[in-house]
Amino acid sequence: MRLAIGGFLHESHSFAPRATTYDDFVNPGGWVGLISGAGMIDAIRGTSVPAAGALQIAEEAGATVVPLSWTFANPAGPVQDTAFERISALICAGLSNAMDQGALDGVYLDLHGAMVVDSYGDGEGELLRRVRAIIGATPLTISLDPHANVSKRMVDMVDAIAPFRTYPHVDMPAAGARAMTLLLERIARGKPWGRAFRQIDFWIPITSQCTQMPPMAPVFDVRAELAKAAGVRELAFCFGFPYADFADCGASVAVYGENDAVAAAVADKMVAEINAREVTFALDVVPGREAVAEAIRLSNSARKPVVIADTQDNPGGGGHGDTTGLLRELIAQGAQGVVVGLINDAESAAQCHQAGE
């Protein structure tokens, strides 16, 4: 059994001023850079990326793994056309070359799901269109970040999707393993699953998406209960990435079951559960002045550090990490024993080093 594995991941913030370049994928800082061919397998094996989990399942199944290309760039502005075209061409060429050497039994791709490209709002949808044009009816599954803005085009192009189920993300290899398991099952069954796809009518704020607490934790409890009760193969819920500005931005549900009717019934129940909780996602965001005052008050009796976060400038979502509003308030209110996690300001850092402070 020959299985192709590749990956192309980016979370694009449409309003971030810095574009994402080809070099950002080649030198991502702290991650595996763009890599193709045989070296890709050793580069991702045992890491925390979804493709590592997929690779493990494929190898345990005794499959011959055909490495394509894998790459990641840190969240930033939209991906430049030149970067998208070069990397997509690598993946597509890898598939074409692999098929010239013999039939592929399946393809797995490690994607994010919220990639915006200069010329394509739905970056993954365009990539998958090109991939499907090459592989024809060959089974294809993908793993996604739950911040994926899943489009109908994406769903139509693949046999199944498997997103992470945690935010903060701690189950990335597990998602890749599920996607590969789905691929193996799809190959064995010889036909596609029934499917249903639904998009939610409202955006879910990033600040309401943590799966370790309400309001999001109960949604994932319901997800698990519905999937188990109906016996569907996958109930994929992605809460979306609101800062990727294109028509399909938002939360979605994709269900894979024995037939379309079963999948549709489960999808409709899941959507109803999410809609019933809409008001719970509207959490209050505290202004900086109030947040600092409350943190100081709590710290007077707290047994652990009090943490406050500038969520609108999150570098993990494409922000620059250089706003100083909370720092200004901490100084103005005389906060003591404070550690500021990170301010991305090379010029100010250089001045501090020059001053010896």
Band the pLDDT of 68: cuts 50, 70, 90.
very high
Please enumerate in sequence order all residues whose Cβ is within 8 A of that of 260, keeping only pairs 6 or more positions apart, or say none.
194, 195, 196
> What is the pLDDT of the chain when averaged over all its residues?
96
pLDDT score for 344: 85
Residue 135 has pLDDT above 80, yes or no: yes
**Fold of the CATH domain 2-281:** Rossmann fold (3.40.50)
pLDDT at 357 over 70: no
- DSSP lists the bridge partners of residue 257 as 194
What pLDDT was estimated at residue 188? 98
Confidence of residue 297 (pLDDT cuts 50, 70, 90): very high
Predicted pLDDT of residue 318: 83
Q: Which two three-digit tokens encode residue 222?
A: 């319901």
Q: Is residue 28 scored above 70 in pLDDT? A: yes
Mean pLDDT within 201-227: 97
The structural domains of the chain, with segments of one domain joined by +, span 2-281, 288-355
Which residue, 225, 247, 338, is CA-closest to 237? Answer: 225
Give yes or no for residue 93 having a pLDDT over 90.
yes
Instruction: Give the pLDDT band of residue 198 (cuts 50, 70, 90).
Output: very high
Confidence category of residue 319, pLDDT binned at 50, 70, 90: confident
Examine the pLDDT at 284 and tell me if it is beyond 90: no
Question: Which position has the higher pLDDT, 46 or 312?
Answer: 46
Quick one: pLDDT at residue 322?
Answer: 85
Query: From residue 69, how far is each of 58, 65, 87, 95 by CA, in Å?
Result: 17, 12, 8, 10
> What angle separates helix 81-100 from helix 123-135, to the nearest 10 degrees?
20
| Amino acid 352: pLDDT | 87
pLDDT at 300 over 70: yes
Confidence of residue 348 (pLDDT cuts 50, 70, 90): confident
Closest to 240 (Cα-Cα) out of 108, 151, 174: 151
Query: Which tokens is 233 given?
Result: 């193969």
Between 352 and 237, the more confident residue is 237
Please answer whether residues 12 and 116 qualify as being in contact, where contact means their C-beta atoms are separated by less than 8 angstroms.
yes
Q: What is the pLDDT of residue 29?
A: 87
More confident residue, 309 or 230: 230
